[in-house]
Amino acid sequence: MIYTLTFSPAIDYVVYLDHMEPGATNRSLRENYYYGGKGINVSTILTRLGIENTALGFVAGFTGRELEQGLKKKGIHTDFIHLEDGITRINIKLKTDRETEINTQGAAITPDKLEELLVKLDDLKQEDILVISGSVPNTLPDNIYEVILGRLEGRNVRYVVDAAGQLLKKVLKFRPFFVKPNLAELEELAGQKIKTDDDLREDAGRLQALGAQNVLVSLGKDGAYLLCEDGREYRMKAIPQKAKNTVGAGDSMVAGFLAGYLEKKDYQYALEMGTAAGSATACSDDLATRDKVMEFYQELNHVKGE
């Protein structure tokens, strides 16, 4: 079973405007809302690709109930912990000629509720996969990733980590199955700009030397790069399409890679599915549908064959 963990899920409220004038009343062209959070995004794409999984995390108040019920209507299995105070956050995305985001704090996670999560994670068993991603809310200890993976150590649970900076670096000792930094995050960890393929190989190799089994790097318009546990490298070109939505593209890549690997146990195919899923979401208003992912997979193989 795959489990995704989202500490602070959100309802993303997207408002489209012709233009926005600060300090004045602005009227929208249209609005929409989506259920968000990095782990939830991964669960959504996995579900759409037919991969059974469970979304874990914390919800609170009327917004938490809406998010939980909405995900269940979409066929996504959840096992959330309910906080007694506050509400699940609502993030505001303002889309004009440029995008402005307001990400809110959300409800506080109390020590007893955190312990409830840790006890729930104790049920994970051999060959289960835990996807843990995103930043840590300020109501949790900043070493919570280490606490969780340390508690699971020795059970042959496989970890997928999508995080930045020291949050990622400090959990490499637990030998995650794969990590997925983007180019900027890899450069931050390396302390230098990546200018060549040799730089990319060298800096991904440093993460591998610190413990990561596989290193998947999302490169935006330049596609993706994978350094495998056996030393093999794969590079995938991006599909030449105009991006309209970057939110969730990296999470979609994680889900697509996992789905591809579980289907064929083949890293090249996993990278192709990851790239297709990430690109499909980047070219959609919401997270990509299965049909869109498979359309992009076919297009990707056409481009690869040219």
C-alpha–C-alpha distance, residues 186 and 207, integer Å: 9
Tokens of residue 22, six digits: 């600060």
Q: Is 79 a catalytic residue?
A: no
CB 77 within 8 A of CB 61: no
Please state whether beta strands 10-16 and 89-95 pair in parallel, antiparallel, or not at all (unpaired). parallel
For CA atoms 152, 46, 260, 236, the dihedral sign is negative
Give the closest residue to 260 by CA, choosing from 250, 252, 269: 269
Tokens of residue 70, six digits: 């909405």
Tokens of residue 73, six digits: 């209507």
Residue 236, Cβ density class (10 Å: 0-12 exposed, 13-18 middle, ≥19 buried): buried
**H or E stretch including 156?**
none
Cα–Cα separations (whole angstroms), residue 16 to 20, 21, 237: 10, 13, 31
Catalytic residue among 12, 162, 251, 266: 251
Tokens of residue 279, six digits: 């690109």
The residues carrying an active-site annotation are 251
